[in-house]
Amino acid sequence: MRRTLWGRSTSSNVMKVLWTLETLKLPYERIDVGGPFGKTDTPEYRAMNPTGLVPTLQEDDFVMWESNAIMRYLCTANPLPAATLFPQDPHVRARVDQWMDAQQTNQNRPGGVVFLGLVRTPEKDRDMTAIGRGVRELGNAYALLEPHLAKHPYIVGDHLTLADIAWGVHVHRWFNMPIERPDMPALRAWYDRLLENPIYREHVARPLV
Ligand SMILES: N[C@@H](CCC(=O)N[C@@H](CS)C(=O)NCC(=O)O)C(=O)O
């Protein structure tokens, strides 16, 4: 089977899939599209992913998009290596799902406002009011994690799961942007723990661009 991940490596949503593929030790090739690489407007790409966004996963003639759904699919299709990443126990899996969805609903919007505003927008064009509001909302989103990370090393328990991947690609940005952060020692300890993971260091903990 030929597996292709379409998407630039600087995208947080592509990083989620890269981290999952590497953790599951699945072979793949990655093709740069999106951002400065463009090529997401072509009829061929839109036929694979009508949103024109990245990532897109292609396995022979099976194609799908939406980063969190791709991560779930890769684990469901490869249950043995995914035993701890996306556990089969219904309660544990529900908790992983809950936190994955919370990333998309609570973290993603303010995270985008702050990251795009501070990292990808020239200083003279920045809407500092929107960015300031985004920083506060983002702090509230990370505060959801703090009491759980104070109880166990990863979001759902003792092991890295898809929930950690969904939030973990973003927490590197949170700790490396010039913003005021409420004190969250358990969140910081979790980020430091992620930094010990060679896959995280190679694919996620990179200069912000
Ligand atoms: N909900 C989608 C969002 C995808 C998305 O917003 N991707 C961004 C990059 S993180 C994108 O494609 N931006 C335009 C581009 O890179 O050309 C997912 O989770 O996969």
Same domain for 73 and 106? no
169-184 mean pLDDT: 97
- Which tens digits make up the pLDDT trace of 130-159? 999 999 999 999 999 999 999 999 999 999
pLDDT at 92: 98
What is the pLDDT confidence band of residue 25, given thresholds at 50, 70 and 90? very high
Q: Domain of 175? A: 90-201
Q: How many domains does the chain have?
A: 2
Cβ atoms of 135 and 148 within 8 Å: the answer is: no
Locate 208 and state its tokens: 């912000």
Which residue matches tokens 């985008």? Answer: 112
Q: Does residue 72 sit in the same domain as residue 114? A: no
The model carries a pTM of 0.98
Span from the CA of 152 to the centroid of ligand 1 (angstroms):
31
Sheet holding 62-65, edge to edge: 29-31, 3-6, 56-59, 62-65
Burial class (CB in 10 A: 0-12, 13-18, 19+), 103: buried
- In the Cβ-directed half-sphere of 110, how many Cα atoms lie within 13 Å? 20
Do 70 and 25 lie in a common domain? yes
Q: Are residues 94 and 197 in the same domain?
A: yes
CB atoms within 10 A of CB 43: 6
Instruction: Determine the pLDDT at residue 191.
Output: 99
* CATH classification of the domain holding 27: 3.40.30.10
Point out the ligand 1 atom lying closest to the alpha carbon of residue 70.
20
**Ligand 1 pocket mutation pick from 10, 54, 64, 162 by most atoms within 8 angstroms of CB:** 54
pLDDT in tens, 108-129: 999 999 999 999 999 999 999 9
- Determine, yes or no, domain membership for 82: no
